Amino acid sequence: MDFGIILAGGKGKRMKANKPKPLFEVLGRPMLEWVIRACENAGVSELCIVKGFCGEQIDTYLNGRYTTVLQAEQKGTGHAVQQAAEFLAKDTSGSTLVLCGDAPFLDAETIAQAKAQHDAQGNAVTVITANIQNPTGYGRILRTENGISGIVEEKDASMEQKAITEINSGAYWFRTGALLDALNSLGCENAAGEYYLTDTIAILLSKGEKAGAFCTENTDVILGANSQRDLLELNTLARMREIDKHLDNGVVFTCTDGITIEPDVEIGAGTQILAGTILRGKTVIGENCNIGPNCIIEDCNIEDGVQLNYVQAYKSTIEANVKIGPFVHIRPNSHIKQGVKIGDFVEIKNSVIGEGTAVAHLTYVGDSDVGKKVNFGCGTVTVNYDGIIKSRCVIGDNCFIGCNTNLVAPVKLGKYVYTAAGTTVTKDVPDYSLAIDRGAMTVKEGYSLRKFSSKIEYKDKK
């Protein structure tokens, strides 16, 4: 059995926030989750996460998905892996992958390729490495004819060793039994007084084991975040990677200002994404849509030919050839059917809007089932909440809802129902009917003259 150990106990003092560094997000996904998914995609699903600072936040995030162990004191990477010894002891016959929880760009392909080399060479340990132009701050790889002789940390390196450009990514494959033996022999005789995981290489070599290095072409595997500035750089890199991916798939961008597209988003060819648009979660967008400017779309299914302008939409379905915006809020569990038009300052919540319906402006439709080709006048409100429970409205096909109509749920309108402007509907209305409720209008003559006489006289003189 192959195991994965993810080191996620770092405090990240320079992040200046009260949460573990691996929980900071890159494109809406914690760095820890990027690492977990890389492991899963490489076929490594038996994972143990080593937590430390604010470890309960790690547990809350994982919600029981994987085993966690606590590194109560921060005594180095070797000490962190030692906390997982009991987890590894379940099966010592396989291999163990050790990764950093704040390195979001280590990919599944690199993990799998390194494992293949690890097995083929019969190594006790294989370090994943990269060649970079500026290796300052990283551990240097000391190569030999038959593999590597060790890794020297920056603070312990000689001037000659500091000139080496092949560096340690912080990711390793170990033979599990060999790793456990080496962990028992770790010491802390170094400049930092810590237990370095890198020292296991010298220990294994001293026991006659083989050590190797897999040099990946993906130099981004080394990237992590030690400050908010670093985190911004990671987000910028990831953001442009996603945009490049969608450009290759035929998505149109005239400008990338303020555009953020999370990794699980799918977009069809010919769709244009305009400035300021944020696409989150598992959103799927069809072909030939126009999204933006300044839209936020999260976990939505959007079909072909949709136009969204200044729209926020969450956990909803929008069918083909719908036009929405500007300044529209589509709240969760809404289903906007084909050909619907929704105008400015409209909110839709937990509702079905039938084919060809128009909700032009200044309207709230909540907890409602609306039929085909309905017209909503300005200022219409479905009154769905009585302070205790929420109830639904049902509006039949081809209804005409007059301006400033209140539909007090639960209420049902049949087909081809008209409501007069200003009507409050409190009971069901049968097909082909007009609902009108305006009461008797009272006119009080001279009212404003009496109330504002001084002001009226002043205005008349002007």
For range 145-166, the mean pLDDT: 91
Instruction: Evaluate whether 106 touches 170 at the Cβ level (below 8 Å).
Output: no
Tens-place pLDDT, residues 227-275:
999 999 999 999 999 999 999 999 999 999 999 999 999 999 999 999 9
More confident residue, 4 or 386: 4
Confidence of residue 454 (pLDDT cuts 50, 70, 90): low
> How far is residue 60 CA from its own chain's centroid?
17
* CA–CA separation, 433 and 142 (whole Å): 87
Encode pLDDT of 386-398 as tens digits.
999 999 999 999 9
| Long-range CB contacts for residues 272-278, cutoff 8 Å, separation at least 24 | 273/246
Question: In the chain, how long is the greatest CA-to-CA distance?
Answer: 108
Identify the residue with better confidence: 106 or 446. Answer: 106
Residue 207 confidence class, pLDDT cut points 50, 70, 90: very high
pLDDT-derived band at 337 (thresholds 50, 70, 90) equals: very high
State both tokens at 230.
Answer: 């670093």
As a whole number, mean pLDDT of residues 401-414 equals 97
- Compute the CA torsion angle 216, 219, 221, 223 (nearest 10 deg): 160
pLDDT score for 235: 97
pLDDT tens, residue by residue, 192-206: 778 989 899 999 999
Closest listed residue to residue 181, CA positions, set 207, 163, 156:
207
Which residue in 79, 118, 246, 361 is the catalytic one?
A: 361
Phi first, then psi, for residue 167 (nearest 5°) are -125, 160
| Mean per-residue pLDDT of the chain | 94
Q: Does residue 361 carry a catalytic annotation?
A: yes
Q: CA separation (Å) from 356 to 20, 70, 315?
A: 49, 57, 21
Which domains, ranges and CATH numbers included, belong to the chain?
Answer: 3-222 (3.90.550.10), 228-435 (2.160.10.10)
pLDDT tens figures, 291-326:
999 999 999 999 999 999 999 999 999 999 999 999
Segment 25-68, tens digit of pLDDT: 999 999 999 999 999 999 999 999 999 989 999 999 999 999 99
**pLDDT at site 440:** 77
pLDDT band at 364 (very low <50, low <70, confident <90, very high): very high
Residue length of the chain: 462
Instruction: Average the pLDDT over 130-136 and give the result.
Output: 93
Percent of the chain with pLDDT over 90: 86
Which pair of tokens denotes residue 171?
Answer: 């990711």
Mean pLDDT computed over 433-453? 81
pTM score? 0.90
Instruction: Report which of residues 297 and 449 the model is more confident about.
Output: 297
